[in-house]
Amino acid sequence: MGYRTEGVEPIKKVSIIISKGSLEGIYPGLIMANGARAEGMEANLFFTFFGLDAIHKKRIEHIKVATVGNPAMHIPTLLGGLPGMSALATHMMTKKMDELDIPPINEFIEMIGDTGAGMYACKASVDMFDMKKEDFVEQVQDIITVGDFYDMAAGGEIIFT
């Protein structure tokens, strides 16, 4: 059962921005969108900048943990930059997520799409990286502008991960 404050309207819609292309940058938004749908909320995902990797057909299965410049890794930046550190951290994290029944990104995207969540790519980022609609997984409904995103998000909460 969720926590409700008396007299406060429950959240009915969330729009989540995913802008990072690392495991720790993508999963929070996917988990929040999945949770929102499970609670009966409308949920829209807006992928921008390197977050586009989460929905890019050729990159979706090659997303890694960022080990350099990531203070949450609790390792010196110099060690994080050593060959194989990102692969090792990615292996350890995906193993733990598998134990917790958290699906790989491609399956999670499909599952969330099946719940009716909206998934959109940022037009400015798509143009900047010379991408097109065919580059993305089928769950991506459209490539939209920031203005379109704000129109879609109106009346709900915006979450930036």
Q: Report d(CA 35, CA 21) in Å as an integer.
A: 21
Q: What is the mean pLDDT of residues 21-37?
A: 95
For 112-158, give the secondary structure using H, E and C: HHHCCCEEEEEHHHHHHCCCCHHHECCCCCEEECHHHHHHHHCCCEE
Q: Write out pLDDT tens, residues 70-120.
A: 566 556 554 555 566 677 777 787 888 889 888 999 999 999 999 999 999
- Per-residue pLDDT at 66: 74
Whole-angstrom CA distances from 117 to 26, 35, 97 are: 16, 11, 22
**pTM of the complete model:** 0.86
Domains along the chain? 13-65+104-160 (3.40.1260.10)
